Amino acid sequence: MILKTLTLKVKLIIIAVVIVVLGVLSATIAIQSHRISSLTRDLSYANANEKALMLINDSNKNQIRSLQFTVEQLDFFNDSIMKKLDAARKELKVKDKDLKELQYLKTVAAKTDTVRLLDTIFVDNFCMDTTIQDEWHKTSLELCYPNTIIVSPEFTSEKTIVTHLKKETVNPPKKCWLARLFQKKHKVIIVDIKEENPYITTKEYRHIEIIGK
């Protein structure tokens, strides 16, 4: 009887040890699998970022590759454009968890117009070439004998676009702050556009998010 009891206890101990070992192995496999998936994802991001950076100076300016960074990486990326984008989202006081996208766009608009009058308007051998400019605008003006006026304006546009989530009430907010606390809320996508050039006004911008059915 005692031998049977001991044998039963030994079996139970063996079973318990096996269960513990299997549990430890399962947990180890799960942790390692998660680490491998995380490393694979990070490697994929790194490869995509490498290709995007290599194509920055590509001749096709109408198509770019998207860079993929964590919010923490923004603070350590030593690039003037990234610093401007990071400063823009900090200025808006966007929480890290609500930040969705950062975009930067710099363009230059330039055009040369030449006017030739029928009559002589300048004295013989007269020629003047001058430029009026500041950080965002430059106009070259050329006056030449006998009747030629050449104007070449140029404007630089520099935009930062921050896309983020914002929690607001589903219905119009109540005037009383206490009543607003009990209103149903949801998160909406906000797109903030900042144009640095004081001479340029953004007339229209539309952001569309494609969602699954």
* pLDDT exceeds cutoff 60 at 26: yes
Average pLDDT of the segment spanning 10-18: 74
Tell me: cis bond preceding 172? Omega within 30 of 0 counts. Answer: no
- Nearest CA to 7 out of 15, 114, 109 is that of 15
pLDDT the model gives residue 132: 94
Calpha distance 167→39 (Å, rounded): 33
DSSP 67: P
The Cα–Cα gap between 167 and 187 comes to 4
Domain boundary, last residue among 127, 152, 177 = 152
Instruction: Note whether residue 16 is domain-resident.
Output: yes
CA gap 57, 62 in Å, rounded: 12
Q: Does a structural domain hold residue 17?
A: yes
Beta strand 127-133 pairing with 137-144 = antiparallel
pLDDT-above-90 percentage for the chain:
29
Bigger pLDDT: 211 vs 195: 195
φ, ψ dihedrals at 199, nearest 5° = -90, -10
Domain-located, residue 51: yes
Question: Tokens 């300016």 identify what position?
Answer: 61
Give the separation between CA 153 and CA 139, rounded to whole angstroms. 4
Q: Is residue 28 part of a domain?
A: yes
**With 70 as the cut, is the pLDDT of residue 61 above it?**
no
Q: What is the predicted pLDDT for the residue at 77?
A: 74
Tokens 């996208």 locate to: 101
More confident residue, 172 or 138: 138
Backbone angles phi, psi at 3, to 5 degrees: -65, -40
pLDDT single digits (tens) 95-150: 888 998 999 999 999 999 999 988 888 888 899 999 999 999 999 999 999 999 99
- Determine which helix (DSSP H) or strand (DSSP E) holds 119, and give its type and residue range: none
DSSP helix/strand/coil, 73 = helix
* Domain assignment present for 198: no
Q: What is the pLDDT of residue 36?
A: 66
Q: Return the higher-pLDDT residue of 4 and 174.
A: 174
The domain tally of the chain equals 2
> Which range marks the domain in which residue 127 is found?
113-152
Please identify which residue in the block is written with the tokens 């290709």: 51
Calpha distance 50→11 (Å, rounded): 57
Inform me whether the pLDDT recorded for 59 exceeds 60: no
Of 44, 59, 74, the residue that ends a domain is 59
Task: Check whether 6 has a pLDDT greater than 60.
Answer: no
Residue 189 lies inside a defined structural domain of this protein: no
170 falls within a domain: no
pLDDT at 29 over 90: no
Determine contact, residues 71/99, Cβ cutoff 8 Å.
Answer: yes
The token pair at 23 is 């549990």
Last residue of a domain, one of 152, 183, 206: 152
Asked whether residue 38 is domain-assigned, the answer is yes
**pLDDT, greater one: 3 or 85:** 85
